[in-house]
Amino acid sequence: MSGRAQASAGELLELVRSGRATTRGALQQVTGLSRATVGQRLDRLFRAGWLREGAGGPVDSPLGGRPSITLEFDDSHAVVLAADLDTRHARAAVLSLTGEILAEHGGTLVIEDGPDAVLGELGRWFAELLEKAGHRADEVCGIGLAVPGPVDSETGRVVQPPIMPGWDGYDIRERLARAFGEHTGAGRVPVLVDNDANLMAYGEQRTGYVDCSAFVLVKVSTGIGAGVVVDGSIYRGIDGGAGDIGHIRVGTDALCRCGSYGCLAAVASGGAVARRLAESGVPAASGSDVRDLLTAGHVEAAALAREAGRQVGDVLATVVTLLNPGVLMIAGDLAGTPFLTGVRELLYQRALPRSTAHLDVVTSRLGERAGLVGAGALVVEYLYAPGRAEERLLALGV
Ligand SMILES: [Zn+2]
């Protein structure tokens, strides 16, 4: 074996979870560890309840000889909580460690009420959801939260969020962990916070496009934001600002919620389309109202959505030229045919043919659940990453 450090139990778990090596023989082959050492490390994972033998029975060993028993991540030892906050609505869920939604709730939660009230209420939702899912609070290993603003992922705090008044710099992790404890009696659990478009992109990429090494999701609802997943990880930039395309200046006169004029979000978001409809006498106040009108086949809403799509498509031509993604996914309230048609019109007209030759422009697969699935996956990847898995095994005494 080379001079590289020997693979830890956490690294063996990672190999099994990713499907790269799922038998004892394959683990020996990939890591260069002896049969005995692999056995000792797997034993720690079995004792922690993190690994089990697969139900599929023995498969042929890569080293020849006796068929091997397959190994798999045992997702029954813990659950994850996740929530996705929008400006006036939120969703929350209990998820298995492999991303299955076990219980889910959606309801009104107004972000302008401020972080203390919103996160306190979310703690109550989590307590109810756990009961509904038949799980105890001490089975929760972590909480993931998606918010509609830029997030400093080091601190979990939002940074100058245009549509989250009162949240700037607030300690979301501390408040949500405390709210969860108050409503369930459970101890502290880790809380991870990220931008909603980032987590939607992560959720969609991991469940539907695992082989896509450059994935972009654009959420068009009250605001406009993009999430970028490169080589399986969220790309956040150095300050968490990557993908915040809603405040690129494209016009001159429309006042944006960020205080500037002419932002993309001020002219082409669900909120902007709703405002134009309202000006011509159609009752619409939000992106979700526009979605309802589009579903009902409203002609003027469709025309405005297509025009909004063209304006977003113009900006996306630059995004696609810079990143050369394999998939560009359109999600959020406006993600339907008229908007997508508009995006395609401008995107293919303005971007270099080479940047779009292998590009799939698609709509969301997970819909309103994308942020929840992404938030749950972020927590699992954080807790079971090799280094942290090793620390947690030691803390468990195995
Ligand atoms: Zn703006």
> Could you tell me the distance, in angstroms and rounded to a whole number, from the CA of residue 263 to the centre of ligand 1?
5
In whole angstroms, give the CA distance from residue 361 to residue 353. 14
> Could you tell me the distance, in angstroms and rounded to a whole number, from the CA of residue 39 to the centre of ligand 1?
56
> Could you tell me the distance, in angstroms and rounded to a whole number, from the CA of residue 170 to the centre of ligand 1?
21
Sign of the dihedral through C-alpha 113, 118, 124, 125: positive
> Could you tell me the distance, in angstroms and rounded to a whole number, from the CA of residue 88 to the centre of ligand 1?
19
> Could you tell me the distance, in angstroms and rounded to a whole number, from the CA of residue 178 to the centre of ligand 1?
33
Instruction: Return the C-alpha torsion angle 289, 295, 296, 298, nearest 10.
Output: 70
What amino acid occupies position 300?
E
> Could you tell me the distance, in angstroms and rounded to a whole number, from the CA of residue 291 to the centre of ligand 1?
22
In whole angstroms, give the CA distance from residue 308 to residue 220. 10
9-17 vs 24-31: helix crossing angle, rounded to 10: 120
Residue 67 makes CB contacts below 8 A (sequence gap 6+) with 58, 59, 60, 61
- For residue 258, the model assigns a pLDDT of 87
* Residue appearing with tokens 């949240």: 167
- Residue ranges for the chain with pLDDT beneath 70: 1-4, 56-57, 60-66
In whole angstroms, give the CA distance from residue 9 to residue 393. 9
* Paired tokens of 25: 């023989």
Using an 8 Å Cβ cutoff, are 305 and 334 in contact?
yes
Using an 8 Å Cβ cutoff, are 374 and 202 in contact?
yes
Q: Where are the alpha helices (DSSP H) in the chain?
A: 9-17, 24-31, 35-48, 115-133, 172-184, 196-208, 264-268, 270-279, 287-295, 299-323, 337-350, 353-356, 370-383, 386-396
What is the CB-side half-sphere exposure of residue 185 using CA atoms within 13 A?
A: 1
> Could you tell me the distance, in angstroms and rounded to a whole number, from the CA of residue 47 to the centre of ligand 1?
52
* Paired tokens of 50: 């993190």
Q: How far is CA 46 from CA 222, 251, 254, in A?
A: 47, 59, 59
370-383 vs 196-208: helix crossing angle, rounded to 10: 80
> Could you tell me the distance, in angstroms and rounded to a whole number, from the CA of residue 292 to the centre of ligand 1?
25
- For residue 2, the model assigns a pLDDT of 45
> Could you tell me the distance, in angstroms and rounded to a whole number, from the CA of residue 330 to the centre of ligand 1?
20
* Paired tokens of 165: 């008044």
For residue 332, give the 3-state DSSP assignment.
coil
> Could you tell me the distance, in angstroms and rounded to a whole number, from the CA of residue 247 to the centre of ligand 1?
4
> Could you tell me the distance, in angstroms and rounded to a whole number, from the CA of residue 203 to the centre of ligand 1?
26
- For residue 54, the model assigns a pLDDT of 87
> Could you tell me the distance, in angstroms and rounded to a whole number, from the CA of residue 259 to the centre of ligand 1?
6
> Could you tell me the distance, in angstroms and rounded to a whole number, from the CA of residue 252 to the centre of ligand 1?
12
> Could you tell me the distance, in angstroms and rounded to a whole number, from the CA of residue 224 to the centre of ligand 1?
10
Q: What is the reported pTM?
A: 0.93
Domain 79-198+371-396 falls in which CATH fold?
A: Nucleotidyltransferase; domain 5 (3.30.420)
Do the first three CATH levels of 4-73 and 209-366 match, i.e. the same topology?
no
> Could you tell me the distance, in angstroms and rounded to a whole number, from the CA of residue 187 to the centre of ligand 1?
40
Closest to 176 measured CA to CA, from 192, 165, 163, 164: 192
In whole angstroms, give the CA distance from residue 83 to residue 147. 9
> Could you tell me the distance, in angstroms and rounded to a whole number, from the CA of residue 248 to the centre of ligand 1?
7
> Could you tell me the distance, in angstroms and rounded to a whole number, from the CA of residue 221 to the centre of ligand 1?
14
Domains of the chain by residue range: 4-73, 79-198+371-396, 209-366
Using an 8 Å Cβ cutoff, are 337 and 345 in contact?
no
Q: Which CATH class is domain 4-73?
A: mainly alpha
In whole angstroms, what separates CA 137 from the centre of its chain? 23
For residue 292, give the 3-state DSSP assignment.
helix
In whole angstroms, give the CA distance from residue 65 to residue 96. 36
What is the CB-side half-sphere exposure of residue 101 using CA atoms within 13 A?
A: 19
* Paired tokens of 170: 């607030």
Domain 209-366 of CATH type 1.10.10.60: no
Sign of the dihedral through C-alpha 289, 292, 294, 296: negative
